Amino acid sequence: MTSNIRLNKWIHEMADLCRPDRIHWCDGSDSEYQSLLQMMVSKGVAIPLNPKKRPGCYLFRSHPSDVARVENRTFISSLRQDDAGPTNNWIDPQSLKSTMTDLFSGSMVGRTMYVIPFSMGPVGSPLSKIGVEITDSPYVVANMRIMTRIGKPVLDFLGSDGEFVPCLHSVGYPLLPGMVDPQWPCAPIEKKFISHFPEERLIWSYGSGYGGNALLGKKCFALRIASVQARDEGWLAEHMLILKITNPEGKSKYITGAFPSACGKTNLAMLVPTLPGWKVETVGDDIAWMKFGKDGRLYAINPEAGFFGVAPGTSAQSNPNAMKCVEKNTLFTNVALTDDGDVWWEGIGYDAPDHLIDWQGRDWYKGQSKEPAAHPNSRFTTPAHQCPSISPDWIAEEGVPISAILIGGRRPSTIPLVNESFSWEHGVFLGSIMGSEITAATISDQIGKVRRDPFAMLPFMGYHIGDYFRHWLNIGKMTTPEKLPKIYYVNWFRKNAEGKFIWPGYGENSRVLKWIFERLEGKAASQKTPIGNLPTPDSLDLDGLRVNPSELASILTVDLGGWKREAEDVRSYYRIFENKLPSALADQLDQLDQRLR
Ligand code: TSX
Ligand code: MN
Q: What is the pLDDT of residues 237-295, one digit of tens each?
A: 999 999 999 999 999 999 999 999 889 999 999 999 999 999 999 999 999 999 999 99
CB of 537 sitting under 6 A from ligand 1 = no
Q: Are strands 526-529 and 363-365 parallel, antiparallel or unpaired?
A: unpaired
Q: How many CB atoms lie within 10 A of CB 336?
A: 26
For the cut 90, the answer to whether the pLDDT of residue 235 exceeds it is yes
Q: Is the pLDDT of residue 442 over 80?
A: no
Arithmetic mean of pLDDT, 521-550? 97
Which ligand lies nearest the alpha carbon of 347?
Answer: 1
Q: What is the mean pLDDT of the chain?
A: 97
Ligand 1 within 6 A of CB of 271: yes
pLDDT digits (tens, 9 = 90+) for 488-509: 999 999 999 999 999 999 999 9
- pLDDT score, position 257: 98
Output the pLDDT for position 446.
81
Neighbours of 362 (CB within 10 A): 11
Separation between Cα atoms, residue 177 and residue 566, nearest integer Å: 60
Residue 232 to residue 583: CA distance in whole angstroms? 21
CA dihedral 330, 331, 332, 337 (to 10 degrees): 80
- DSSP characters for 481-513? GGGSPEEEEE-S--B-TTS-BSS--GGGGHHHH
Q: What is the structure's pLDDT at 2?
A: 87
pLDDT computed for residue 447 by the predictor = 80
pLDDT at 1 > cutoff 90: no
**pLDDT above 90 (res 440):** no
Complete DSSP assignment for 432-484: HH-EEE--TTS--S-TTSEEE-GGG-GGG-SS-HHHHHHHHHHHTTSS-GGGS
Question: What pLDDT is recorded for position 588?
Answer: 98
In the CATH hierarchy, which fold is given to the domain comprising 308-386?
A: Phosphoenolpyruvate Carboxykinase; domain 2 (2.170.8)
User: How many CB atoms are located within 10 Å of the residue 91 CB?
Assistant: 17
The domain locations on the chain are 5-45+66-233, 237-305+390-596, 308-386
Residue 534 and residue 524: Cα distance in Å, rounded?
Answer: 11
What is the distance in A from the centroid of ligand 2 to the CA of 102? 31
pLDDT at 268 (0 to 100): 98
Per-residue confidence (pLDDT) for residue 438, from 0 to 100: 87
Length of the chain: 597
Question: Are both 5-45+66-233 and 237-305+390-596 of the same fold?
Answer: no
Question: Which ligand ends up closest to the CA of 314?
Answer: 1
Nearest CA to ligand 1 atom 26: 504
Q: Which of 204, 127, 138 is nearest to 165 (CA)?
A: 204
Which positions are annotated as active-site residues?
A: 263
Q: Is the dihedral of CA 388, 391, 397, 400 positive or negative?
A: negative
Find out whether the beta carbon of 274 lies less than 6 Å from any atom of ligand 1.
no
The three-point CA angle 261-394-404 to 5° equals: 60
Closest CA to 404 of 251, 297, 274: 297
Cα–Cα separations (whole angstroms), residue 48 to 161, 295, 339, 386 = 41, 49, 13, 20
Query: Percent of the chain scored above 90 by pLDDT?
Result: 97
Structure confidence by residue, pLDDT tens digits, 367-387: 999 999 999 999 999 999 999
Mean pLDDT of 398-424: 98
User: Distance of CA 462 to CAs 131, 222, 309, 362, 459, Å?
Assistant: 17, 10, 23, 39, 9
- CATH of 5-45+66-233 given 3.50.50.60, 3.40.449.10, 1.10.357.10, 3.30.360.10: 3.40.449.10
Coil, helix or strand at residue 374: coil
Q: What is the mean pLDDT of residues 7-28?
A: 98
Pairing of strands 74-76, 193-197: parallel
Neighbours of 176 (CB within 10 A): 8
Residues 6+ apart with CB under 8 A from 465: 85, 86, 87, 454, 457, 458, 577, 580
Which DSSP letter does residue 541 get? -
pLDDT mean over 179-203: 98
Rounded-to-integer distance, Cα 178 and Cα 171, Å? 19
Q: Please tell me the predicted confidence (pLDDT) of residue 162.
A: 96
| 424 neighbors 481 (Cβ within 8 angstroms) | yes
**Alpha carbon distances (Å) from 63 to 143, 146, 166, 188:** 17, 22, 27, 11
For the sheet with 46-48, list strands across it: 46-48, 58-60, 331-333, 379-383, 306-310
> What is the spatial distance between Cα 128 and Cα 222, in angstroms, rounded to a whole number?
10
Calculate mean pLDDT across residues 428-447: 86
SS3 content of the chain, % helix, strand, coil (to 5): 30, 25, 45
- Residue owning the nearest CA to atom 8 of ligand 1: 264
Is 501 near ligand 1, meaning CB less than 6 Å away?
yes
492 CB under 6 A from ligand 1? Answer: yes
DSSP of 285-330, one letter per residue? SS-EEEEE-TTS-EEEE---SEEEEE-TT--TTT-HHHHHHTTSS-
Q: Of the bound ligands, which one is closest to the alpha carbon of residue 259?
A: 2
**Phi, then psi, of 487 in degrees rounded to 5:** -105, 130
Residue 141, pLDDT score: 98
Mutate to test the pocket of ligand 1, among 259, 348, 492 (most ligand atoms within 8 A of CB): 492
Check if the beta carbon of residue 66 is closer than 8 Å to that of residue 334: no
Model confidence pLDDT, tens digit, residues 120-146: 999 999 999 999 999 999 999 999 999
Is any atom of ligand 1 closer than 6 Å to the C-beta of 504?
yes
CATH class of 237-305+390-596: alpha beta
C-alpha 131 chain-centroid distance: 18
Give distance in angstroms: CA of 142 to centre of ligand 1: 32
* Residue 301 phi, psi (nearest 5): -120, 155
**Each residue of 326-369: pLDDT tens digit?**
999 999 999 999 999 999 999 999 999 999 999 999 999 999 99
Q: Residue 557: left if φ>0, alpha if ψ -120 to 50, beta else—which one?
A: beta
Residue 445 has pLDDT above 80, yes or no: no
The pairing of beta strand 298-301 with beta strand 400-408:
antiparallel
Cα separation of 237 and 227, whole Å?
5
pLDDT of 43-84, one tens digit each?
999 999 999 999 999 999 999 999 999 999 999 999 999 999
Distance in Å, CA 313 to ligand 1 centroid: 10
Distance CA 61, CA 354 (A): 21
What is the distance between the alpha carbons of residues 121 and 165, in angstroms, rounded to a whole number? 14
Looking at residue 349, its pLDDT comes to 98
For 85-95, what is the mean pLDDT?
98
- The values of phi and psi at residue 580, to 5°, are -90, -5
Question: Which ligand 1 atom sits nearest the alpha carbon of residue 310?
Answer: 11
DSSP letter at 392 equals G
In this prediction, residue 578 carries a pLDDT of 84
